[in-house]
Amino acid sequence: MSPEKLDLLQGTLDLMVLQTLAVMGSMHGYGIARRIEQVSADEVLLNQGTIYASLVRLEQRGWIGSEWGVSGNNRKAKFYSITAAGRKKLAEDAEYWGRLTGVMDRMLRMKTGGETA
């Protein structure tokens, strides 16, 4: 494991947030960030500004919705959930990233002469 944390590529955080909400259901921003960090084995660390910028962007695009509620520690918190449009976007982006990672895998396994391992 590298001592450096991973830098996220453009669009990957939004995809991570959508996937987290699709799997986990309604969550507050702090919970979303912690879940992403947990699943990434702490390779991705998110500060408050980063996660909330993503949440605002996703909500403005209609891919998530929000409502106020009470968190597990009895504090007022905004809870986010994925919308039907967000599920559609998630499916499109997941398919795209699957194709892209397949290409990158083939490129990185390329041997002299262009053959793949």
Per the domain annotation, does 33 fall within a domain?
A: yes
pLDDT at 72 over 90: no
Confidence (pLDDT) at 114: 63
CA distance 66 to 85: 14
Give yes or no for residue 47 having a pLDDT over 70: yes
Domain of residue 87, CATH code = 1.10.10.10
For 60: left if phi > 0, alpha if psi spans -120 to 50, otherwise beta; the answer is alpha
Residue 29 lies in a domain: yes
pTM of the entire structure? 0.86
90 within a domain of the structure (yes/no): yes
Does any domain span residue 49? yes
Which of the four pLDDT bands, split at 50, 70 and 90, describes residue 4? confident
